[in-house]
Structures are given as structure tokens and as C-alpha cells.
Structure 1
């Protein structure tokens, strides 16, 4: 995926992306090239379809325009010459600002000369761009006063303008009717052509005599009062910036739509610009019942009278919503959260979201899969994402969808292959043991089959590269079983063929192939060709069925893409070569006998029959098979019935939820049976420990009895650490700790010690005639120390 420009940060996001049903994408840089250029402009009352000449502009307006663009932009944004002659200039930094700087270069002037004149250190204040302002303003000192340069979204900046430079650069009042006319005649036509419209304005603060569009001040203005400072501006121009749609994006969106994925565009641009770009990309199509909203209108519709967001109001919008224009990161988060939490569909929507800004973090976290931009994205956005697009391209998202579906299919392919082999191997071994008192497949042969089935097959089937065919079908549902009906048909169909072939060879193979029968052979007899043929045929069928397992959706051409995966055919050929070596030279180690060329051809013929039989199985209508026979892995995660014992209270008293009740009873029965087995196992181990210690005590007691008759004063030699060496002392606390389990065991095996403590505790431990202070008494004290009166009873009994 890294080669496809997808840097995966969370591995589970890859598989989740395969089930995606909705993508909420940004516009700039994702759907478009993010290489912006000014292609239209409105300056001094004139509309220019191409870049004008500096000399053709009103002098006062042209000079103001140069300073407004050069100063009121990040000094890190630059336009550099191309590496080679004829190459396009390189844009470094913010692309919108680079397009404005390129406009100055097209006028034949240099922005760097102005920046050298007005350094960043001389700035008095900067109101940076954000999603709330939709504009940027810079305050610079000028002739004892200040000048504010402002640029931003045209409709936002124009609302703060009270003056405009009209024809020949004359200063005019910018009335509401004039603003509406400018929007109708200039801004909307630009937006309908897919252009981003930027307005540039300024305002002067002077200490002396002020003109009509200037502000006189004596005391320092309150720069914190942004609404008052950035108001009554003078509009200089409106620029139309083109951000072309990436050539590959319309086809990528078409493939997403064909794959059952709904693509929505969430942008901060003008609604007309957003509509134009969405139409060019294919998000909007003629005749569709698609909905286009601005962020303000969307917020109004999803809130109730008290201002709270309501899910049922979002459900009325998101189904048909395709474009959300002039939106903020909060609007994006509300939309994503509403789609995910919606319950109007049987299966919950799986939503992927793209984001590049710091404020996009909540939406990226809320989404099932969050995509951050690797080039334009901030560090916060990257940390909140699951996958980073290293090229900021929408087509990389489509590749992530393909990889996600490929992961799911790889698991299904391996399951289809493995279950087929398991079913055949189990039935053959069981029937063979019952019919001929011997398994046709020996233990070492089964190990080789398991190696093929598990390790080698997983490597071969899981390394298939994603193909465009993965986008020809709808996403897997969240409750879809892992084993589909088509897979169930293939598993059972292939198992029937393999079992039939093996049983024919087992019972009639000696006659059909004119070889000696291996049935009822003695264990000391050398390996037979009969059973070698069965083993070899089974492996051949398994190998050819591995090719069948590459297709899980009923495709007939199982060889499609076979040679595009070198890992697969390399493993397949090496397995075949290994099988030849095992059969021909394995001997007793593998219970094989070398086969002739004719017998090898028969084995390969039976094995390759799996491919022909697969075509027959594919012809069986899948819809006529039951749906829920192999529904393993389906459904939403449920509460564990073992942990939630109150679930019985939730069941219908009439027993209507019979399936659920049966599951609970079955699981609880198994749980209680396991608990009982653990208790019995612990009880048994305790008894065995007790008997072992008792036997040790008895031996030492007998040894001490013999020694006491001849050596009364000698202390017996003992190698048991928990028996006191000093027979006259009571048990030590340490020995009592070591015998804690023994004490517990004594209480378990002597349930009648309350009524008869002396008999129950001392009779098995103290032989008749044992002295009171001998080792047997010490051992008895150790075993009986768990009750206060036991030591006294033991001494009395010994006496």
C-alpha cells in the first residue's frame, strides 16, 4: 500500500476500508491538482478573461494591488522557476497565495522587491486565515498611521467593504445594490466556471486629515476589536482562481460509485464553485436527486428549536446530500457523525473522511477510516488519521478500497481451500479406520498435507495483488457471513469429488490399476503402491484445488491473473517438485513406494479433474442454496451470555426467543461442565499429593520404629524438609505454610473429623507402637495442624 501512496498507521483500517460505503472528501488538492492560477479578474470596473498588463490598469489601483498581495501573504509562499527550461514554475507554500504571487509575475512585476522593502518584522499585527474568518489581514505601519490589507472569500470580504475603486480607479461608494450586481455579474459567472473567487481590499488609519475611505485616530486603535478594525474596507479587485480537476479523478469516482460507494464533497468554497467542480468530477449527474447545501443552511436544518442537533433531522439530509459548500470543520464532523449513527439502513454506513487541517482532527477520529494529506496536512491531522495519503490524491483512496477488499478476499480464499482439505482428510481417515482398521493417509503424510494446507497455501493465496474487478461489486455488509453461499458450494462440491475419488481408489484401485492391494497389510510390511497412489492423488487434487480457491465469487476463469503473482506459481511448482521427491525417494520415512510413469499420469489425471469438476460446481445456481448454513462470523458483536447472567431476565417468558434461550443453556451447560472438571482435576491432584506425602510419612515411621528399639537416643535421618528434625518440638510456622495444601486436602478427605477426629486423622498416620516423640508423631502434627485440638488428639492416640 505504501507503493500506492497509502501510509497505513493503523492496520485494521485497511480491512475496514474494504467495507466503506461513503467517502467524504475535501476538494482542494484531493479532487483538484492544487496548482492554482489566476485566469480571470475584475479590476477598476473592467473584467479581464486573461492576465492584464500592468500598464493597462489604473496606476493607483495597480500599486495598491502589488503591495496588498506581496505583503498580505506568508513570506514562505514563493513561486520559483522550473528546473528545466520550459517547465512550469514551482509553487512553494500555500497554493492560493502562490497563484496570487504568480499573478504579480504575470503583470511583469516582482513581489520579492516589495517584500524586501516591507519586512515581516515591521508588521504591526496579523489576523491569520482560519475557517471562521475565511480571510487574512495584515496591519503595517505607514506615514505615522497604519494600513490594513485584507484578502479572502469574495462574499465574506465584500460584506465588510463600503467603498470600491471603479472605472479609471475612481473611488466609489459600494452600496448593497452595487454589491448584489457585482455578485450577479462577476462572482457567480466565475464560480459557475469552477473558479475560486478572492477579493482584495484595504483600509487606512491616519492621524491627520482623513479621506472619505480613511479613519482618523488620536489614540491607538483597539486591535482586539477585530469586527470594528476590519470593516468599512475599500475593495480593490476580485480574482478568479482556477484549480483544475485532476484528470484521473472522474474515472476514480465513477469506479467508486460502481462499487457501491457514495462520494460526497465537503469544501469551504463558494457553492457555485463547488457545484461546478462536483459536476466535472462526476459527483453530481444530470437528473440525480442530489442535494447541495451551504454549511450555514445545513446547520439550520439539523438543529431543533432549542439549537440541539437531532439525528432524525440529519437522516432527512445525508441520504441525498452530495456537496456541502462553505462548510467548517464542525459541519464536517456533524455530517460524519450523523451518517455513522444513522439507523435508517439495515447495515450501518462505513464512512471514510479526508482532512488536512488541525480542525479536521475530530472528524478524522470519528470516521471509520480517516485519511490525512501527506503534503498539505498538518501534524495534528496526521496523528488523528488512520491512513496518510502521501500524494494527496483521491485515486489513492480508491486503491485503499481495493486493498481492503483484497484482504477480505484473501482470508476467504484461504478458508475455502483449507476447509475443503480438512473435510476430506477427516472423512477419509475416519472411514478408513472403520472399514479397514487403518488410515489410508499416514501420520507423516498428514503432516506434509498440513504443511501444504496451512503454511504454503496461506503464502500463495494471501499474496494476490488487488485487481480492478474488486470494484465491480458492492461492499461487504457488516453482518455478512465470512463464508458465502458460493464458497459453501465450492467447499462441499470439491469435497464430494475428492472423497469419491479416494474411496474408489481405496476399495477398487488395486483392480482398476492392476496393482497389489494395500488393504489389511501388516504394519511391518513395506509401503505399498496402492496407498502411495491414494496419498499422491490426494495431494494432486489439493494442489489443483488451490488454483480453484483463487476465485470465491463464482468466476469460471480460475487461471485469470495466475502468472501475475510469481509467489503463487513459485510455491505451487515447488510443492509439486517436493511431492515428486517424497513419493519417489521418501521410502519408509514417508510410507511411500516409488510409482511408475503410468501411475503418475493417473494421479495427475485424477488431480486435474478438480478443475473440470469446478466448472460443474460453478454451474449450480447459488441462489437455491440455503443462506444461513455457514453463517460463521456474521452479525454484530453481541454481549457475552456467560458474562451477562441477567440476560435470561430479558428473554420472553413465553419462550419466543427459543434460539437465544437454547444458545444460553448450551453455553452455560458447557461452562458448568468445565468448572466441574476443573474442581475434579484439582481434587484429584490434591489427593495424589496427600497420598504421596502419607506414603513418605509411613516409610519414615517404620524406619523410626526399627531404630527406636535399638537406638532410642538417635535421631532418624530424614530428607523430607517439611518434617521437623527435632521430634520433641511442635510444628514450626514455616512447615505449616509448606503444608497448606496438604491441610486443605485433609479437610476434604475427612468429612467426618468433627464426629471422630482421632480416628479420622491419626489412624492412617501413626502405626501401633510408635513412640510419642518420633518422626511419625511429627508428621501427624504437620498434617493435623489445621485444627487446634488435633495435635493433642494425636499425642493422646500415640500414647
Structure 2
């Protein structure tokens, strides 16, 4: 019962020094002993289970029934072919689903929560899975607790434990508490922190006492395994489309069967053909193809530093037309550097490099307060923490006021953490015989709380004129795109409570720091604007600082395009809605304002992407159409609430992700239109033949073969087509836009009619070669075999060649590069090789009732097969010419 033991006991039992933590070697040994710190999920489906899952389809049942009937009447070859097609179709589905699952698992590994841990005397950020019993964990607001901890230090620490206790109000923690009652409920164990709970306020440290399944949450882990098999809106629409097409196909097949009855055809042959046509007409491969295209696309996006957590986000990315972005770290380099320092009457430029610099008494006091009132660390060129605080600690290093030395000499005994409303942070540090409060934050807020000022080593009353001077200097720094932070202190002879810290302060001065824009961001913003996307800057910085950066990047052109949080609060909801499109910069805003901004843009029908990194950003990330969390500076809460995580915190990555999202959607659309055209072609060829009382140009086995090979391989290859370079020159897609908008439905129908007509034409030429016509009766079997072979090869070949024309609705295959999609070329070659094998290998030819074609015949079928491609490319040329 760790909650009944003192912190020292827990540390002794795990043989760990709280100041230095475990050594790397000891951590490795314990990891080998205890295993990774992750919960066991429910078992995944095995390959065999997945295989049988893909057989659970009504049409597959019908097809299997047809196979049984063929066995009973002695048509063993047909039965074998039907069964082979069913098995191959299921195998392809299993392979696709397995690949998609592996891709998603890889992404989940990339989004594993991180934890701050002391190792070898240093604070490091590692994957939570690497944590072992005995590790010293550092907690701060916004981090998930990575394991069960016995707290050894706490400062105003509050942890939200609803996942364990059901209590939504955060629990206050006290490391010094000891609960002697062995039956103390989890919710009352104030000296413990539990895995998967969330630190919402303050900070603390704890020693890991349990990991993985040994934790409290591990005991209920069976209900925590999240189901990742989530259908996206696109997949749902396609699933509905498949059902509609299925009913239409079955209706057509029933009609075919009824007509065949009146025409007194071979009922068994027509029964098998009708069933095969139903299977061929329905693009049952669509959900699997869409799943693998999305999964591969998401994996590809992870390589450009954008981890998409939810597949529906890929679809939404293509429709984004507003990007609301943080300034610091996203639009800028996130390398804050203090370049100016001001104490009353004295402005000092700070060199970019160097140590051992000299500072006056007031300047030393200013730097000392900044360093002591910071949680960041900086040692040997490595840093942890907020970039602004890192810059302040680096400033201390330059003037030989190192963080480690100051924190050891002036031990922190209390603090009032930073709050986005106050825009201040305060610490209480022990002096020799007293205490001192150190406060840093917005200079205007500090001046409101200050009554005195430090001037030339003396504390003097703070006059209105002095306040105006401080504010004027701050404004001048802001005009030069510098971020301004002020510092103050208060001496006291007693240990103060939080409420008493930030009163009657003595202002020391302020610093100006800069975070220069990222070099590549300006080009990305220009690209976004050309793509019909409006970039919006949202920042907590001063308006002048924000607008200066926005102008440099091309986001805004004047100060009139900016508004502060205070000004926003003065507007009514109706006024803000009417003016929202006038603004490009939102400065000095709180996280609560972000939600208001998102909803205002959405009210105008925009699709909004919003970035965030803090605990309080979660609501705006949830409300946005695409919530984007920062991977480097973002808290676990922000990452949990987001749809996408930027591993490099870079605005350019958002633009690249939108481009990738547009291309993924377009690729899926290509695959769907292609499959529908192919399936419609098969339906047209069979239906017209039955309706006109012609001999059937294709047998059931032919349809099943083409449905499996000719359709599927090019459809998958189209789904992973390289991105269209011009996709960012077009406006965002309307999310309500029909899947068959912009003439795509018409193109699918025309493609299907063309492929079906050419199949019938090839069948006609085959019959005519022997002096027969489509209306002839008693056609010899060898003639039918020859004509059907011609139709069979033309149907397959026309679909394979037609896939080339489907790559772009406007550009020719030569403009986009004939070999730029090597997978498609490979799919076409494999398709023709397999088609050649079917008609040339004797036992396959006998099974499919086809024959070898002569060189003349091959020339003819290739000519027929090329017609859809040639006509499609000609229509593109005509459209481009007439457009010019």
C-alpha cells in the first residue's frame, strides 16, 4: 500500500535517488525484467478469422451456392473456377485489411504519449512505454500520468482522475500526506498519481511504483482497447452506393433471368451468368480499396511530419479553406532568443552568443528573477520546456547566472503557475533569512500589480510617468516584432499563500525576445492563398508583434486586419460574425477566444483547421473541422483532442498535409469512377445480348476473372497515384459536393457504355470471321469459343488501357508522365500477362472455354482495347483546346 508509506520509504524500496533518477543501465535492466509500460489490448483477429470475415457477404453465399449446383450437375471445372475466384477475392481482401491495420498500428506507435523522467541526473522526455518501476517522473499541467506514482513532491498539483473514480472535478494532491487506513479509496489517495489520469494544474514529481497491467488502470484494461476499425464518411457513402448498385444489379439479373425464361435459353447457364453479373456489377472491392488507400496515404503523410490520428480527417483536409495557426513555433522557428534587456532608463542589446557577460545590479536582479521563475532546463546545449522560458534560462547562462546554481541556492518553496487569464507566473523562493516572490509575464499586468520599482539598486515608488515609460519601451520593442516579458519581485519574511503572492510587487524591468519566421513558411502561405485557403494567425503576443510577423509572412497587410482578445470581447456575437472575414490576425487571445473564432468562421460555411498545444486548447481543437496539435510543444491533452499531430510544429506541414489530403481523395475518386465504368461495361455487354436474344458474349467464369484481376489491380494502383502537382492551384472541395459532381458521373456512364459496346463489337467480329452474325442460331461451339475469346480479351484490355486515361480528368497521360505511376504500369502488364496465360495455357484455356488467338487477332483486340483510351485522351485535348 504505497499511499500508507512515506516518500522516503518508496524511494528506498526502489533504490533510487530522487535528484538523479535511475541510470540508463539500471533502466534497461528493469525494462527487461518488468516489460514495456503499456496495457494489453484485446486480441487482434488472426488471418484465418479475417479470411472468413471476407466470406460473409450475401453475394458470396449465392456464388458458393452456384458452385455447389455446378458440382451436382457435373460441371466440375466451373465449380473450381468459381471457388478459386471466391478464395482469391477473400485473400486479396485479407491482404489489404492486414496492410491497412499494420499502417494504422504504426501510426498509433508514433502517437505514444511522452513523459518527463529523470535519468542519469538529467530530465529527459521519453516514450511512456520505456518507463520502469523506480523511475522519477516529472509532472506538469497538460501531461498524462504515464504510470502509477507515489508522489515525492507537489506544488499546487491537481489531477483529473475521472477515468478511475468517475469524479470530473480534479483531485488536489499532496506528496507529504500519508494515509494509514489500508482501505483508503482511490479518490482519496492524495499522495498518489495513477496511470492515464491527467495533470491539470501545478507540478510535481513521483516515483513509479507500478507499470503496465500492474497499475490501477491495468486492472480494468479489458475495456480500454479502442476499436480502430472506424468507417469514414467517404467509406459510408461508398458502402451505401455499393448497396444501391447491388439492388440495381440484382434487379437487372432477375430481369435477365425472366427474359431468358421467355427466350427458352439454357436456364442453368443463365442462372450462373446472372449471379456472376451481380457479383461483377457490384464494386464489392471498394471498401477494401478505400481502406488501404487511406491507410497508405496516412502512412505517407506521417513521413512529411503529419500524423493523422483519425481517417475521416483525411477527407476533411481536402476541404479546408481556413487555417488558424499559432504564431510561435508554427509560423516561426520556435527558438526564442532574448535580444534586448531594459531596466529603468537603460536599454541593453544582448549579443547572440558568448558567456561571462557583465551586467549591472538591476540587470542581474532582472535576469535572476527570470531564471528562478522558469521551469525550463538548459544543459550542454539540450533544453526542455517552453521555448520562452528556455530563452530566459539561456540568458542566465550568458551572464553566469546558471539555472542549476540559482535553483540550488534559492530553493523554490511555493508557486502560482502560469494562467492564460492572468498571463503571469510567480514562484516563492527561500532567501538567506527570508523569502522572495519572483513574478514574470505580461508587462502591463505586472505594472497593474506593482507599487514600486527597482532603479539603480534602490526600491522607489512607481509613478504614472514611470509606468508610461515602461509601456512605451515595451511598445517600441513590439513594433520591432519582439515578444516582451516583464519581471517583478516582492520580499517577505514569511511563506506566502498563492493569493498573497502577486500584490504590491516591485517591477524590475523587461526583456524583448524574437522568434524569427521559418524560412519556408512564406512560400507555404503563398501556396495556401493560391489554393483558396486563408491563413489566420492566432497568438497570445501583442498586436504590434503579431502584425509585424504577419506582414513579413504575407498573412496580413495592415494593422486594421488585426484584433485583440479584449477588443473581441467588446463585440456582440452578431457584430463579430459580420466582421470575422475582415481579420487575419488575432492577438492577445485566450484559449476561450479560439472556440469563438472557430465557430464564427464555421458559421460562414468555412471548413476550419485549428492548431493548439495547451490544455485549454482542447475545446477549440475539438470544435474545429481539423484539430492540429503540436508534436514538440503540445501537451498530451491537446494531442488527445486533435485529429492530426505535427511532429515538427511547422505551418508548412499543414499545407503539405492539405495537399496530400486533396490527392488522396482524388485518387479514391479515380478508383471508384474506374470501377463503376468497368462494372457498367460488363452489365451493358450481357444485358444488351440477353435483351436482343443474341448469344452471350461472356461466360460466368469470364466475368468473375475480370472482376478479380482486371478491375482490382489497376483500381489499387490508381488509389496510390502520385500527387497532382496542380492540386493546390484549385479551390478547396465543397464537403457537401456529390461524389459524381463536375461531370464524373457522366464520365463513368460514358466509359461503361463504351467498354460494353466494344466488347459486343469484338464478339460480333469474332462471329463474322466465320460467317455468322449476332442473330444467328445454332452457332457451332468452336465459333462461339473464338468470338467469346475476342470479347473476353477486349473487355479486359479496354479496362486495363482505360485506367491510364483515368489518372487525370484534364491532362493527357504524356503531360503527367506515362511511367510516373509505375504501380499502374505494372498492374496493366500483369493484367495482360495473366490474360495471355488464360487463353494460351491449355488447361486454363479449357477451363475458361477460350482459345489461343493469332497475331492478327491480337492486333485486332489491341486496336479495340485502345479505343476508350484514345477517345478519352482526344476529349481531353478538345477540352483543353476549346478552353484556350
Q: TM-score range by the shorter chain?
A: 0.5 to 0.7
Q: CA deviation at 1:42?
A: 1.6
Alignment pair present for 1:225 and 2:499: yes
Q: Which moved more, 1:64-73 or 1:364-373?
A: 64-73
1:141 aligns with 2:411: no
Within 5 A, what are the aligned runs for 1:91-130?
A: 91-120=383-412, 123=413, 125-130=414-419
What is the CA distance between 1:114 and its match in structure 2?
1.8
* 1:283 aligns to 2:570 (yes or no): no
Matched, 1:150 2:439: yes
Say which of 834, 849, 854 aligns to 1:578: 834
d(CA) in 2 for partners of 1:151 and 1:20? 38
Q: Could you say what secondary structure the match of 1:438 adopts?
A: coil
Match of 2:113 in 1: none
The alpha-carbon distance between structure 1 residues 490 and 45, as it changes in their structure 2 partners (threshold 3 A), is same
- CA displacement 1:234-278 (0-9 Å, x = unmatched): 222221111121222222222222222222111111111111122
**Separation in structure 1 between the aligned mates of residue 350 and residue 686 of structure 2, nearest angstrom:** 82
Q: Is the aligned partner of 1:79 residue 2:378?
A: yes
Residues 131 and 521 from structure 1, CA distance in 2 versus in 1: closer, same or farther, beyond 3 angstroms? farther
Q: Distance in 2 between matches of 1:514 and 1:454?
A: 31
Which residue of the partner structure matches residue 235 of structure 1? 507
Are residues 1:609 and 2:867 paired?
Answer: yes
2:476 aligned residue (172, 189, 193) = 189
CA contact (8 A) 2:325 2:537 kept: yes
SS in 1 for 2:726: helix
Shift of 1:497: 4.1
Q: Which residue of 2 aligns with 1:29?
A: 329
Q: 1:450 to 1:614 in 2, by over 3 A?
A: same
2:524 and 2:386 mapped to 1: Cα distance? 26
Question: For the structure 1 residues 500 and 149, does the alpha-carbon distance in structure 2 shift closer, same or farther, using more than 3 Å as the test?
Answer: same
1:69 aligned to 359, 370, 374, which one? 370
Give yes or no for contact 2:615–2:635 (8 Å, CA) kept in 1.
Answer: yes
Q: Once the two structures are superposed, what CA deviation does each residue of 1:400-425 show, in whole Å capped at 9, x if it has no partner? A: 21232223212211222122223322
1:609-688 matches, within 5 Å, as 609-619=867-877
The residue aligned with 1:260 is: 532
Aligned position for 1:768: none
Is this contact kept in 1: 2:675–2:715, CA < 8 A?
A: no
d(CA) in 2 for partners of 1:331, 1:113? 40
Q: Structure 1 residues 528, 54: closer, same or farther in 2, change over 3 A? A: closer
Residue number among 614, 634, 641 corresponding to 1:377 in the alignment? 634
Q: Using a 3 Å threshold, how does the CA distance of structure 1 residues 564 and 173 change in structure 2: closer, same or farther?
A: farther
Q: 1:496 to 1:314 in 2, by over 3 A?
A: same
2:492 corresponds, among 187, 198, 205, to 205
SS at match of 1:138: strand
Match of 2:302 in 1: 2
- In structure 2, the CA distance between the partners of 1:67 and 1:434, relative to structure 1 (3 Å rule), is closer
Instruction: Report the Cα offset of residue 447 of structure 1.
Output: 1.2
Distance 1:300 1:241, change over 3 A: same
Tell which deviates more after alignment, 594-603 or 126-135.
Answer: 594-603
Give the SS at the match of 1:103.
helix
8 Å CA contact 2:685, 2:697 repeated in 1:
yes
Does residue 588 of structure 1 match 2:846? yes
Cα distance in 1 for partners of 2:470, 2:532 equals 42
Match of 1:759 in 2: none
CA RMSD of aligned residues (A): 2.9
* Structure 2 CA distance for partners of 1:99 and 1:562, relative to 1, 3 Å: farther
Deviation at 1:620, TM superposition (A): 5.6
Write the mapping of 1:739-750 to structure 2, written as runs, cut at 5 A.
Answer: none
Indicate yes or no: 2:655 matched with 1:398: yes
Any idea what SS the aligned residue of 2:812 has? Answer: coil
The 1-side partners of 2:563 and 2:874 are apart by 53
Change (3 A) 1:48 1:520: farther
* 2:578 matches 1:316: yes
Q: 1:24 to 1:179 in 2, by over 3 A?
A: same
* 1:43 alignment partner, one of 343, 363, 368: 343
Q: CA separation of 1:561/1:200 partners in 2, compared to 1, >3 Å: closer, same or farther?
A: farther
Are 1:15 and 1:408, in contact at CA under 8 Å, matched by a contact in 2?
yes
Superposed CA deviations along residues 371-423 of structure 1, whole A, max 9, x for unmatched, are 11222111221221122222222222223212322232122112221222233
Equivalent of 2:618 in 348, 356, 361: 361
Q: Does 1:300 align with 2:558?
A: no
Q: How far apart are 1:437 and its partner, in Å?
A: 3.0
* Whole-angstrom CA distance in 2 between matches of 1:164 and 1:515: 110
* Structure 2 unaligned spans of 5+: 1-300
Alignment partner of 1:179 out of 463, 467, 472: 467
Do the aligned partners of residues 515 and 392 (structure 1) sit closer, same or farther apart at CA in structure 2, a change above 3 Å counting?
Answer: farther
Q: Secondary structure at the match of 2:688?
A: helix
Q: What CA deviation, in whole Å up to 9, does each residue of 1:450-480 have, x standing for no partner?
A: 1245432331121224344222211111321
Indicate the residue corresponding to 2:520 in structure 1. Answer: 248
Contact 1:31–1:393 (CA<8 Å) still a contact in 2? yes
The partner residue of 2:689 within 425, 432, 436 is 432
- For the residues of structure 2 that align with 1:368 and 1:314, how far apart are their CA atoms? 20
The 3-state SS of whatever aligns with 2:419 is: coil
Q: CA 1:516–1:424 in 2, change beyond 3 Å: closer, same or farther?
A: same
State whether residues 489 and 622 of structure 1, in contact with CA within 8 Å, keep that contact through their aligned partners in structure 2: no
Q: What do the CA deviations read for 1:139-187 (whole angstroms, capped 9, x no partner)?
A: 2233543321111122222332333344x55554432233223333x22
Q: Please give the alpha-carbon distance, in whole angstroms, between the structure 1 residues aligned to 2:391 and 2:562.
A: 28
